[in-house]
């Protein structure tokens, strides 16, 4: 798991894998959701995580100049993502998903808020403790992105409260 002691390239790889794990989880949650609004929320969150992955891949390839023995495309297709954002093991979320069908948007929002809140806290800690200044900038940017996700989810929750 990412600790803040990584150099910039390793930090980018670790962050990429967490974003990939979260993207995969949100995609699966969208498929499993029976409520249309929950399905849509998870699909949108998965799309945001995909954008984060693209951003991180762009940074990695720009810095590294594609000099790796394995291309980034090969890496992203083969790499497993054991953790989601916030350091939550993907298998733990997967187990919750297997046992649970999201009957409504409220359940979906609760789970998404937990994931995004933990991701924000992880990136905040990493941005404060990173030894590589460039990695610190990346962690700070990811923290800002997670704040946007939390704000989005809070707005959805407010809409839900107004409906009920």
User: What residue ranges do the domains of the chain occupy?
Assistant: 8-163
Give the C-alpha distances (Å, rounded to integers) separating 84 from 61, 69, 163: 22, 26, 31
Which of the two residues, 125 and 107, has the higher pLDDT score? 125
At 140, the pLDDT band (50, 70, 90 cuts) reads very high
Is pTM, for the whole model, over 0.75? no
**For residues 77 and 110, what is the distance between their CA atoms, to the nearest angstrom?**
30
Q: Which CATH number fits domain 8-163: 3.30.9.10, 1.20.1260.10, 3.40.50.720, 3.20.20.70?
A: 1.20.1260.10
* H-helix or E-strand spanning residue 89: none
At 50, the pLDDT band (50, 70, 90 cuts) reads very high
Which of the two residues, 66 and 116, has the higher pLDDT score? 116
Asked whether 29 and 42 are in contact (CB, 8 A), the reply is yes
């Amino acid at each position: 798991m990412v600790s803040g002691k990584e150099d910039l390239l390793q930090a980018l790889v670790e962050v990429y894998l967490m974003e990939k794990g979260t993207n995969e989880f949100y995609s699966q949650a969208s498929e499993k959701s029976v409520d249309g609004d929950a399905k849509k929320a998870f699909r949108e969150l998965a799309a945001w995580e995909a954008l984060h992955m693209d951003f991180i891949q762009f940074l990695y390839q720009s810095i590294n100049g594609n000099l790796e023995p394995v291309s980034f495309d090969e890496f992203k297709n083969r790499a497993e993502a054991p953790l989601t954002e916030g350091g939550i093991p993907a298998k733990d979320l997967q187990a919750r998903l297997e046992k649970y069908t999201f009957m409504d948007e409220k359940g979906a929002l609760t789970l998404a808020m937990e994931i995004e809140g933990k991701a924000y806290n992880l990136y905040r800690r990493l941005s404060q403790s990173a030894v590589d200044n460039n990695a610190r900038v990346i962690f700070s940017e990811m923290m800002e992105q997670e704040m946007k996700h939390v704000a989005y989810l809070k707005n959805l929750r407010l809409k839900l409260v107004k409906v009920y």
